[in-house]
Structure 1
Amino acid sequence: MAPLTPMMQQYVETKKQYKDCILLYRLGDFYEMFFDDAIIASKALEITLTGKDCGQEERAPMCGIPYHALDGYLSKLIEKGYKAAICEQMEDPKTAKGIVKREVIRIVTPGTNLSIQSLDETKNNYLMCLFYMDERFGVSVADISTGDYYMTEVDSDKKVLDEITKYAPAEIVYNDYFPMCGIDLEDVGEKMRISVSALESWYSDEALCIQKLKEHFHVASLDGLGLSDYPTGTIAAGMLLQYLYETQKNALPQMTKITPYHTERFMVLDTATRRNLELLETLREKQKRGSLLWVLDKTKTAMGARFLRNCIEQPFLQKDLIERRLESLDELNEDVITRDEIREYLNAIYDLERLMSKISYKSANPRDLISFKNSLSMIPPIKYLLRNMKTADLKEIYESLDGLEDITKLIETAIEEEPPISIKEGGIIKTGYNETVDKYRNAKTEGKQWLAQMEQTEREETGIKNLRIKFNKVFGYYLEVTNSYKELVPEDWTRKQTMANAERYITPELKELEDMILGAEEKLFSLEYDLFAMIRDRIGGEVKRIQQTAKALAKTDVYASLAYVAERNHYVRPQINENGIIDIKDGRHPVVEQMIPNDAFVPNDTFLDNNQRRVSIITGPNMAGKSTYMRQTALIVLMAQMGSFVPAASANIGISDRIFTRVGASDDLASGQSTFMVEMNEVANILRNATKDSLLILDEIGRGTSTFDGLSIAWAVVEHISDKKKLGAKTLFATHYHELTELEGRLSGVNNYCIAVKEQGDDIIFLRKIIQGGADKSYGIQVARLAGIPASVTDRAKEIVLQLIDADIAAKAREIASEEGACLSEPEETPKVVEEAASPDQMVIAQIAALDLARLTPLEAINLLYQYQDEIKKR
């Protein structure tokens, strides 16, 4: 086989080191891909596949993209699950001897993508690292586009899944032993669209992880970082840091701080709860509009939008933290003019965190710096407006805000107001900032004028009247003197060429001017680039100050947004208690009320406690508003614990450690799970993980199976929840099983509520009001009529329901069907009470023996049990 060309040999050697990546190999103004990479990339990027001579008989498959369009194409590759290695030219091809030296300068993965154009500015792009050993899990997450870096450790696979759900990372890496814990990360990644990969064993070497953390943060001990209480978490953080060093190939200057945290500090929200409460996106369309985030997000900056999302996903569990935030919102709404002024200034601020990462990565262009400067210029007036704030959080924000006037002044003095995007074509540095730049710039534009002036000066000083300054490609600029004036040439002129009728000379002054004129543009561009790089590096050196200020601005933005929403939507400040009482007066669903015109939303009260009002059984027809009512209660509790005002006339909210929801029906056919199995899985998760301090929202438990089985399950679930020895959690339980209303008075803490309905003949009007007591019917036929079911069907349904009322449904259904000629099995005999017995006890025993338990409803069984007990007591 013929040898490859030298350039292709270089490519192949580089590719061997990055087998799992698509190698983008810089050739002039293009990034080229070859062989299998080219075939894959041409399909993924929808670009033309061509070929290139590589020294062998067959041409190598090849495709390429322009270097200036890298970000867009790179993002497409990453979105489709590929990793990309960027191989750059490390020397100028004009001056290189032989093959241009090239190196991979960065590996881009889903969790390390820095392209601002492809990232959602309102959410973090997290990379997560998981480490498992000795029944403990280390968890670390980082967003290199903002510099955020967190770590913790947990003791169960359930808590690991909670952390994955909370952060929704773009990429997860894990140690090679992790699969032994039983979590199928590949399955998790497929369901949540997360890129998942294992790291080699050396990444999880404890000594190496600790050393890497010490070196990065320049500390002698991990105690100073607060990591000493998290041994497995420390290994996860070290693994993540090493992975970033391997892929980013720089010092990660934007990663200035690592934040350890306890998972117990925040309310845990599982996937089902986030989905059912539609916190960040709607259940069906997966859109922001219609979610809680849509209502609360009136932030002005990308940093604020990200911070608000985190607040919604991680409500507080400590009363003092909640109160501090509520006090800040109160103060901002007491001075609406100041609040709105702050929001105006925030509106002009770009994404400082991600711009700072671009600066740290040396990828920021001149226009980025102008955006940066314009943003920084808004900080001093914001700080001035906050100067007299009295609440703890707002005072802390004021102290954290650095005016950064020195950086603003540097950019203002040095960088043109409307610079080009390119950093190598000049036009970047302002006139007056650097004397040499001014000189080169003048040389470029005023060179002819300088030559004419020198020519005139030399004529006058030498007396050579026909002296000319001329130019050719061999000698450059020269002074030409005819033979008739040769004797007037000064001695310090240097002869360069003798002509038939003239002599040509150069002088040091002319040579200097020539250098300036001929190399002015090239030197100007080079010098402007060097100065721009120096300015960018100076700003990069202030990363800690800038990140601290960016976080303070994000918090300011969120507080101003929440205060503004509270005022506009007529929210109230909730009281926070630690004794388990949830007392909401005229509560409203924050999203639904925004979707209903003319203030038509009907508010409702809610009262739950840890004693006699633990469980509310809610009955009533579909479409009447049960689900909306229950969800609004959960959302009001969540909003209160995230430190937001709430949609109600008043609210006294007891802190819940978790909110669980079981709402709606859906199959998971890909996993072979029916609607009922999905429902039971979610119920099992709730019953196993809820505590007495949790809030449960349960809608239609048991609807996915037969009536008797479903009612029995729902009944048993209510018993379990209401029992303080087993659970005793505060619960809103919506059901169509009216039999469950019998539990009021029989189970401690259970109370009946229903949705008020007004009947008008065969029609019904939903009053949307929760009232005490149980519903005696479901109005299903009326709802069916409202939905457009043909009248012939609903009329027949009315006939059938009259026959089924107060009867054994299964037996009556067979009876009705047989009357209509349906081929159903013959009905069995109904249970008979045996009266012939020798003694009262034997009579009861005989009655029990005669029962057909398979056909008894739970309500009938309990009624019989009470009857037998009553008979025995009487006798």
Structure 2
Amino acid sequence: MTHRTRAAQPSARSLRTGDFGDDLVPSRRQYLRLKAQYPNAILLYRLGDFYEAFDRDAEIVARDARITLTSRSFGRNGRVPMAGIPHHALNEYVSRLLAAGHTVAIAEQLSEPGKGLVERAVTRVLTPGTVAEAALLPANENRYLAAIAPLTDRIGLAWVDVSTGEFAALEIDGSERETALAEELARLAPAECLVPDDQTHPPVSAGRITRVERWHFDPDRAAQRLRTHFGTRTLAPFGCEHQPAATAAAGAILVYLERTNPALLPLLTSLRTELPGRRVGLDAATRRNLELTRSFRTGGTRASLIGVLDLTVTPMGARALRRLVNEPLRDLAEIQHRQEIVAALVSASEVRRRLEQILLGAGDLERLTSRIVQGNGSVRDFLSLRQALATAEAVIGTLQASDEPALRALAAETACCTDLAAILERAVVEDADGARIRPGFSPELDTALATVQQARQFLATLEQRERERTGIRSLKVGYNKVFGYYIEVTRPHLARIPSDYVRKQTIATGERFITPELKEAEARLLTAEAEIAELERAALARLTHEVTARVDALLRLAHWLARLDAFRSLAEAAVRYGWTRPHLDESDCLEIEAGRHPVVEALLDGQPFVPNDCRLGGEHPRIVLVTGPNMGGKSTYLRQVALIVLLAQIGSFVPARAARIGLVDRIFCRVGAHDDLPGGQSTFMVEMVETATILRQATQRSLVILDEVGRGTATQDGLAIARAVLEDLHHRVGARTLFATHFLELTTLADELPSVANAHVAAIEHDGHVVFLYRVLPGPADRAYGIHVARLAGLPSWVADRAESLLGEPPSRRSARPQFSDCRFARSSAAYQLALPGFPDGSDVAHALARDLIALDLTQISPRQALDWLFAWQARLRGTVTEGTA
């Protein structure tokens, strides 16, 4: 029996030193030497039509790229694990590896096979945050590389998208700097984050963590590196001259890009330093709960806010819109400027439709510019760039011809690169021969092409001329990669070949020959073709230089086009869904008339959505306690208010009849129940962590959305926590708050706390079934209808019946625990009602009716709302009379 030997795996020391011994076959030695240069990356080694990984890399690739693990023999060195990726599917599998957080080094073949060991070298190193190839990136999302530079009393954060050239930094100080950093990371969602190698606890929300040497974050070295890169003597133009932490983070990014892919550096033409507090604060929980860019149910953008808003026609426009949604503003002037543009596009319907058609030609100018600047541009890429510049010129002309002053002003904010467009017009063309360098741009190239054309014409006529000269009708002129051009003659006609034919190859059916004339034509053709390839590269290099010299202007133009597409999308959404322009000011009022949930309404597919009002702050209570049954619409109502405020502060129209919104500094949204098992947190713990975050960080200018605080623990504990939270929001925080709860006992706080009011989502019981009205009305709910909702969910009837019988038992039979000290439930002949302190136990329907009637605002209620209110009370009173008669 023979045994296959397994090759020894390369040791860490051998990879570090490059000492692999003398007994390796050349290809194995070459692979290991390349691997030693990139020990922390997965090395994909080109072998013919495959990119191969070996050893431990192969096992990782097989697992994370989901391909088959095999093995390969290296002669007497034994077999090693191997996993191969077809060259035509490289991008697909590399995307999987990057998504799993790996760094990938790609080794290409630099010499032709067949002449000894093929020369290979690593030509690209890809990390999750430094991917620039469009094929490896989501078209509608930015992919950020971030860096965190912690100093003694402040934190620097920098981020870059190497596919678009966006490069920015921020410095955070103060006692809440860790919280502010977490919010920024939640906004950016970086694919990779650089931290000093001695940082022990990097943020868990920072994507793939890459540790680099601490000295890269030295502020003085980083400042010098930035000045060298931008060619300036000071960093004052970039706003970070006196921000050492921001400078340190930005400098660390430059060093990392120099190490991984220096070709990306020319795209970083400027650095934007942002000021803290410019944006509305949104923590990770709020972004998740409001489903801004991802839906709980679908896992994608469908059924999310961005899924409703995104009517863009360019990938860069979609990315710009996503940034708008992720970055609502606190700057009233900037919000109003955006509103003016959106309102103008809403009014100018013909301009809006025209822009939609024109912008289709812009493509992804941001990433196209990136690809060209890196030296990867093809003739077709330059054609696409020429088309994008022509599109920009048409867009500017359309805006300038508009009757809307805001659109004419917008056109004046940018300039088209007309000189570059003229160069591209002279340089590239697409005709019947395909995309090519236009004749006249490179005379040397034109000469070489003419030579090739002459040689090909000679070869095209050679076969017919030789047939006529020799009289051999079956004579053929052919070509293959090994032997080049030849004349083929079958065996029966070999006696008729001319004397100038030189035998080149014997085949089964005859012989192949070459003539001096054919050999000369072949030499001219091959020489000219090699010269053409070199001259085409030189022409593309010239064009690349022209683009690189204008990269700053090109990226500004691309950014302008992207924002215009995003604003056009907001205007299109406003028209399509019937939204209105909100009024924003610096007050603390929040007044929404007939508001709707933008996502729920869009998913109703034409069915009517029941709108509801909301009034918080100003002359109205700052806290509204919302009660009512499950499935009644409480969560929808709460979230729609938060989304309307967010939409208003990105400059969008909103789904409401009218809205007045005093700017908020932060939005907090704690809804739903979920756990964090990997983090060791139960559902209740997650709920309490999120609630604690709100109470510690919310201000008087914040908007707070709380749903079912305290439901994850025992009833009495939860009720006590919920009341304490509500009191703290009222007494200390003062934020505008919507507080939904099933603890009906809490509704008595409206009588005790002056800034608290009750509201409930209306529902009626008819023939033993609950009917949800989805209308938010003043006053508290009378009960939770929990058993009715359980029946709707399919709870077996015998279980629901048993629950109703238990509900009818005295409280002492249901629980031995004492009731909450200030509020309790009491059983009456009609149903459970809230017994208020100072009133006798039992149902006091007349008192409840009087209280609800007094709470009605007759100056605001519509006829339809009045009828709904009367209908609900009539049904309730009928039930009471019927039970009393029985």
Shift in Å, 1:684: 0.7
Residues 338-357 of structure 1 aligned to structure 2 (within 5 Å): 338-357=351-370
Q: Matches of 1:452 and 1:83 in 2, distance apart?
A: 50
Change (3 A) 1:220 1:401: same
Change (3 A) 1:286 1:530: same
CA contact (8 A) 2:58 2:69 kept: no
Shift in Å, 1:517: 4.3
1:262 aligns with 2:264: no
Change (3 A) 1:282 1:358: same
Shift in Å, 1:246: 0.7
Q: Tell me what 2:188 maps to.
A: 167
Q: Matches of 1:43 and 1:84 in 2, distance apart?
A: 15
Shift in Å, 1:53: 3.3
Q: Tell me what 1:845 maps to.
A: none
- Number of corresponding residues: 763
CA contact (8 A) 1:428 1:532 kept: no
Q: Tell me what 1:788 maps to.
A: 794
Q: Deviations over 1:606-637 (max 9, x none)?
A: 10005651000111111111111111111101
Q: Matches of 1:220 and 1:282 in 2, distance apart?
A: 48
The residue identity in structure 1 corresponding to 2:129 is: G
Tell me the secondary structure at the aligned position of residue 142 of structure 2.
coil
The residue identity in structure 2 corresponding to 1:40 is: I
CA contact (8 A) 2:580 2:654 kept: yes
Aligned equivalent of 2:74, options 53, 65, 72: 53
Aligned equivalent of 2:803, options 789, 793, 797: 797
Q: Tell me what 2:472 maps to.
A: none
Q: Matches of 2:114 and 2:676 in 1, distance apart?
A: 62
Q: Tell me what 2:867 maps to.
A: none
Residues 586-597 of structure 1 aligned to structure 2 (within 5 Å): 586-597=594-605
Q: Matches of 1:131 and 1:184 in 2, distance apart?
A: 11
1:24 aligns with 2:32: no
Tell me the secondary structure at the aligned position of residue 593 of structure 2.
strand
Shift in Å, 1:377: 2.1
Tell me the secondary structure at the aligned position of residue 412 of structure 2.
helix
Q: Tell me what 1:458 maps to.
A: none
Q: Matches of 2:821 and 2:618 in 1, distance apart?
A: 31
Shift in Å, 1:394: 4.1
Q: Matches of 2:456 and 2:760 in 1, distance apart?
A: 93
Shift in Å, 1:690: 0.6
1:15 aligns with 2:23: no
Shift in Å, 1:18: 1.5
Q: Tell me what 1:469 maps to.
A: none
Change (3 A) 1:31 1:391: same
Aligned equivalent of 1:242, options 246, 249, 255: 255
Q: Matches of 1:397 and 1:88 in 2, distance apart?
A: 47
Q: Matches of 1:197 and 1:517 in 2, distance apart?
A: 51
Shift in Å, 1:332: 1.5
Q: Matches of 2:338 and 2:268 in 1, distance apart?
A: 27
Residues 572-583 of structure 1 aligned to structure 2 (within 5 Å): 572-583=580-591
TM-score with structure 2 setting the length = 0.80
Considering only CA atoms, is the larger Rg found in Structure 1 or Structure 2?
A: 1
Q: Tell me what 1:738 maps to.
A: 744
The residue identity in structure 2 corresponding to 1:798 is: E
Tell me the secondary structure at the aligned position of residue 250 of structure 1.
helix
The residue identity in structure 2 corresponding to 1:127 is: L
Aligned equivalent of 2:759, options 748, 753, 766: 753
Q: Tell me what 1:769 maps to.
A: 775
Shift in Å, 1:349: 2.1
Shift in Å, 1:395: 4.8
Q: Tell me what 2:153 maps to.
A: 135
Tell me the secondary structure at the aligned position of residue 158 of structure 2.
strand
Change (3 A) 1:419 1:51: farther
Structure 1: gaps spanning 5 or more residues: 421-425, 455-472, 478-504, 815-826, 829-853, 868-875
Q: Deviations over 1:557-576 (max 9, x none)?
A: 01111111111211111000
Tell me the secondary structure at the aligned position of residue 85 of structure 1.
strand
Q: Tell me what 2:873 maps to.
A: none
Q: Matches of 1:519 and 1:764 in 2, distance apart?
A: 86
CA contact (8 A) 1:139 1:233 kept: yes
Change (3 A) 1:518 1:310: closer
Aligned equivalent of 1:565, options 554, 564, 573: 573
The residue identity in structure 2 corresponding to 1:858 is: D
CA contact (8 A) 1:574 1:640 kept: yes
1:312 aligns with 2:328: no
Change (3 A) 1:261 1:860: same
Q: Matches of 1:101 and 1:40 in 2, distance apart?
A: 26
Residues 392-791 of structure 1 aligned to structure 2 (within 5 Å): 394-395=407-408, 397-417=410-430, 428-447=436-455, 516-517=524-525, 519-610=527-618, 612-723=620-731, 726-791=732-797
CA contact (8 A) 2:227 2:234 kept: yes
Residues 86-235 of structure 1 aligned to structure 2 (within 5 Å): 86-88=106-108, 92=111, 103-155=121-173, 156-179=177-200, 183-185=201-203, 187-188=204-205, 194-235=207-248
1:288 aligns with 2:309: no
The residue identity in structure 1 corresponding to 2:823 is: L
Q: Tell me what 1:859 maps to.
A: 823
Tell me the secondary structure at the aligned position of residue 114 of structure 1.
coil
Change (3 A) 1:741 1:109: same
Tell me the secondary structure at the aligned position of residue 282 of structure 2.
coil
Shift in Å, 1:445: 3.3
Shift in Å, 1:699: 0.9
Q: Tell me what 2:862 maps to.
A: none
CA contact (8 A) 1:359 1:537 kept: no
CA contact (8 A) 2:158 2:167 kept: yes
Q: Matches of 1:261 and 1:414 in 2, distance apart?
A: 40
Q: Matches of 2:90 and 2:544 in 1, distance apart?
A: 21
Q: Matches of 1:433 and 1:231 in 2, distance apart?
A: 49
Q: Deviations over 1:732-752 (max 9, x none)?
A: 111111111111131120011
Shift in Å, 1:413: 3.7
Q: Matches of 1:66 and 1:219 in 2, distance apart?
A: 46
Shift in Å, 1:9: 3.9
Shift in Å, 1:721: 0.6
Q: Matches of 1:511 and 1:411 in 2, distance apart?
A: 39
Q: Matches of 2:685 and 2:161 in 1, distance apart?
A: 37
Q: Matches of 1:239 and 1:169 in 2, distance apart?
A: 15
Shift in Å, 1:670: 2.7
Q: Matches of 2:755 and 2:59 in 1, distance apart?
A: 67
Shift in Å, 1:188: 3.7
The residue identity in structure 1 corresponding to 2:744 is: H
Change (3 A) 1:577 1:571: same
CA contact (8 A) 1:708 1:858 kept: no
Tell me the secondary structure at the aligned position of residue 436 of structure 2.
coil
The residue identity in structure 2 corresponding to 1:165 is: A
CA contact (8 A) 1:127 1:143 kept: yes
CA contact (8 A) 1:400 1:548 kept: no
The residue identity in structure 1 corresponding to 2:822 is: P
Shift in Å, 1:393: 6.5
Q: Deviations over 1:805-851 (max 9, x none)?
A: xxxx3x2315xxxxxxxxxxxx69xxxxxxxxxxxxxxxxxxxxxxx
Shift in Å, 1:419: 9.6
1:81 aligns with 2:82: no
CA contact (8 A) 2:629 2:784 kept: yes
Q: Tell me what 2:494 maps to.
A: none
Tell me the secondary structure at the aligned position of residue 566 of structure 1.
helix
Structure 2: gaps spanning 5 or more residues: 1-20, 463-481, 487-514, 826-833, 840-886
TM-score with structure 1 setting the length = 0.81
Tell me the secondary structure at the aligned position of residue 378 of structure 1.
helix
The residue identity in structure 2 corresponding to 1:615 is: I
